[in-house]
Amino acid sequence: MEFKDIKELIRVFDKSDLNKLKIKDGEFEISMQTGFDGGTVVSQAAPAVQTIQAAPAATAPASASTTETTAPAVSGDTINSPMIGTFYASPSPESPAFVKVGDTVKAGQALCILEAMKIMNEVEAEFDCKIVKILVEDSSPVEYDMPLFLVEKL
């Protein structure tokens, strides 16, 4: 189940008269229950880290109408955020970063983790490349399709 599907489920559940919902799909399981205060409680039994593909790299500059003020202006090939979340450069605070400037990366190699709704999502490179610049600071919030890495395709 994808992140957007989970968000939609929560939205529909909040607006419904249901007080409990449980969905199981293979290894993925999600349970929602309204609490005593009328809020929604979401619990999930799923792998701690889900692997996702990075958003397609931008090869042409964005038009003025679609440029976000929060995203830095970047020219060249980028690896973009596939979702809204919090950017983490390493698997834990004590661990070294997945990649650093100058590293050569193979397609499928982990670049960072994006945390969304307490789920850690590993972002992988879609193609072989060299990391030219890391555009986001560790523990920073990121938007969908926001450039994370400036890269040079190999």
Residue 121 CB contacts under 8 Å (≥ 6 apart), including other chains = 3, 49, 50, 51, 52, 82, 83, 85, 113, 114, 115
What was the pLDDT predicted at 57? Answer: 53
Q: CB of 112 within 8 A of CB of 85?
A: no
Q: Helices (DSSP H) in the chain: which residue ranges?
A: 3-15
User: In the prediction, which pLDDT does 18 show?
Assistant: 75
CA distance 152 to 104: 9
d(CA 147, CA 80): 4
Confidence at residue 65, expressed as pLDDT on a 0 to 100 scale = 43
Give per-residue pLDDT as tens, 84-132: 999 999 999 899 999 999 999 999 999 999 999 989 999 999 999 999 9
Residue 70 above 90 pLDDT? no
Query: Domain spans of the chain?
Result: 3-45, 49-153
What pLDDT sits at residue 24?
76
Nearest-angstrom CA–CA distance, 142 and 25 = 29
Find out whether 49 and 120 touch, Cβ atoms under 8 Å: yes
* Pair 125, 107: CB distance under 8 Å: yes
> Has residue 83 got a pLDDT over 80?
yes
pLDDT tens column, 2-59: 777 777 777 777 777 777 777 777 777 777 777 644 444 555 544 555 555 555 555 5
Q: Average pLDDT for residues 138-150, to the nearest whole number?
A: 95
CB 124 within 8 A of CB 108: yes
Q: Which CATH architecture has domain 49-153?
A: Beta Barrel (2.40)
In the chain, the amino acid numbered 85 is G
